[in-house]
Amino acid sequence: MRLTILGGGGFRVPLVYGALLADRADGRVTQVVLHDVDTDRLKAVTRVLAEQADGVPDAPEVRVTTDVDDALRGADFVFSAIRVGGLEGRVHDEQVALAEGVLGQETVGAGGIAYGLRTVPVAVDIARRVARLAPEAWVINFTNPAGLVTEAMSRHLGDRVIGICDSPVGLGRRIARALGVDPRRAWIDYAGLNHLGWVRGLRVAGRDELPRLLADPRLLGSFEEGRLFGAQWLRSLGAIPNEYLHYYYFHREAVRAHRQAGRTRGAFLRDQQARFYREARDPDTSALAAWNRTRAEREATYMAENREAAGAGEREADDLSGGYEKVALALMRAIARDERTTLILNVRNRGTLSVLDSEAVVEVPCLVDASGAHPVSVDPLPGHATGLVCAVKAVEREVLAAAESGSRETAVKAFALHPLVDSVAVARRLVDGYIAVHPGLAYLR
Ligand code: G6P
Ligand code: MN
């Protein structure tokens, strides 16, 4: 079985390869094709993978290419993990927004819109190529903003593209642990959009354990989201929000914390990764050791400003293991081997959340088997969550329309309608500011 990774020189690729190495079952991936536009990054990552594979019998063979069509032909699965504009682009997404006094974040608010506007045209081009060259392949989208990018690709690939995020499963795991239940036995009632979802229940043997958590301040103080949002607010909501909702519920504090941070998350990662790619070129050092060091530091500092702003303390040490690769592998396995499983994924709505149309990509529990990922029916969201989800979906639709038409005014509309952008005048300046720094937005006229 052949897996193609677009963005194959990316920093997370060794996580995926590590998970592939651990998979000994029949029908596992035997060939990995890495595609990237940057050969230096490909070289660095292949050195890491070679060290990972050292001593592992029949490790998946790795091939690299800079020709995207060559990468796609013959693929059974395609992981799309591209970053249009690189981390330098992420820094601009953050800084232009912060300079206007609005949230500068990779996936939420103005920064997420800017990232979406330059990523959608590239993602659509990839989707068209897949439809032509590998129509039987399944595409797993990792690229942020994941819900929006998955929806853009689904217009060309239908339900053959599935978006993934590790945050819902991570949240479910933390809640289960706080309750002292085995996460594998728990049904997580989670619904919303990517980075905009809520856990409304956690059922073990048919019984909802979430009320027990919400009633106990000590338990609520024992895990990250409990401390981040505060026991009182969680009780008011009657649900546990995805940590990205901190940007909505504590918008002002988050903007202040980001402005005070001195260096944005993107700038930290840009510098940190530049160091890794430099170290990985040195023939006298272990590329794998350099990668491990960088990875540990990255995970330990994830969302640090938010936790500090909320006085929420350190991230749990045992939660520093990524989850992306695990979700991706579980999904690929369920499809390839018809191993029926349930995963929280980004798929077309098909009636699941009745306030959204059937083409809207949502993040909900799905039943996965050889025929793909099928959203399971969930209870409707409460009023305020419905409001946020509909507002943000409307923004996503404007982003998709702007990417299709190239209309600058439609891009302005996308920014102006976002709940975290508080003025049309600000939206206009954001569009001007982003076009000035992003070559990938030159198409907007
Ligand atoms: C979480 C989110 C991802 C995000 C990742 C890394 O896993 O779900 O969407 O890409 O964190 O964030 P970072 O700030 O380290 O790039
Ligand atoms: Mn995510």
Cβ proximity of 118 and 82 under 8 Å: no
Tokens for 83, please give them.
Answer: 């970053």
Tokens for 119, please give them.
Answer: 């990523």
pLDDT of residue 376: 97
What phi-psi label fits residue 189: left (phi over 0), alpha (psi between -120 and 50 degrees) or beta? beta
Smallest-distance ligand from the CA of 306: 1
Residues in the ligand 1 pocket, defined by CB under 6 Å: 144, 165-167, 265, 269, 298, 302
* Burial track 15-54 (b if 16+ CB lie within 10 A, e otherwise): bbbbbbbeeeeeebbeebbbbbeeeebbbbbbbbbeebbe
Residue nearest to atom 6 of ligand 1 (CA): 302
Distance 308 CA to ligand 1 centre (A): 18
Q: What are the start-end ranges of the E strands in 312-409?
A: 341-348, 361-369, 372-375
Distance 441 CA to ligand 1 centre (A): 23
Q: Which of 79, 324, 326, 344 to mutate to test the pocket of ligand 1 (most atoms within 8 A of CB)?
A: 324
pLDDT of residue 69: 98
Q: Which of 105, 107, 169 to mutate to test the pocket of ligand 1 (most atoms within 8 A of CB)?
A: 107
Smallest-distance ligand from the CA of 193: 2
In the chain, the percentage of residues whose pLDDT exceeds 90 is: 94
Residue nearest to atom 3 of ligand 1 (CA): 165
From the alpha carbon of 144, which atom of ligand 1 is closest? Answer: 9
Question: Which of 400, 393, 435, 384 is closest to 418 using CA atoms?
Answer: 393
pLDDT of residue 312: 85
Tokens for 370, please give them.
Answer: 């050889």
Span 32-78, pLDDT tens digits: 999 999 999 999 999 999 999 999 999 999 999 999 999 999 999 99
Query: What does the pLDDT average to over 272-299?
Result: 96
Query: What does the pLDDT average to over 154-159?
Result: 98
Task: Look up the ipTM and state it.
Answer: 0.98
> Cis omega before residue 375 (within 30°)?
no
Give the global pTM: 0.98
Window from 262-266, 275-279, 307-311 with minimum mean pLDDT: 307-311
**Residue written as token pair 């642990």:** 177
Helix, coil or strand: residue 24: coil
From the alpha carbon of 298, which atom of ligand 1 is closest? Answer: 15
CA atoms within a 13 Å half-sphere pointing along the CA-CB vector of 122 = 21
- Mean pLDDT across the chain: 96
Span 210-255, pLDDT tens digits: 999 999 999 999 999 999 999 999 999 999 999 999 999 999 999 9
Span 115-150, pLDDT tens digits: 999 999 999 999 999 999 999 999 999 999 999 999
pLDDT of residue 320: 44
The residues facing 241 across adjacent strands are: 198
Query: What does the pLDDT average to over 361-375?
Result: 98
Q: Which of 103, 264, 298, 321 to mutate to test the pocket of ligand 1 (most atoms within 8 A of CB)?
A: 298
In this predicted structure, the answer to whether residue 377 has a pLDDT above a threshold of 50 is yes
Span 174-213, pLDDT tens digits: 999 999 999 999 999 999 999 999 999 999 999 999 999 9
Distance between CA atoms of 200 and 237, rounded to whole angstroms?
9
The residues facing 375 across adjacent strands are: 366
| Amino acid (one-letter) located at 284 | D
**Residue written as token pair 């989208």:** 141
Pairwise pLDDT comparison (414 vs 306), residue with the higher score = 414
pLDDT of residue 428: 98
DSSP 99-144: HTTS---SSSHHHHHHHHHHHHHHHHHHHHHHHHH-TT-EEEE--S
Is the Cα dihedral 245, 250, 251, 254 positive or negative?
A: negative
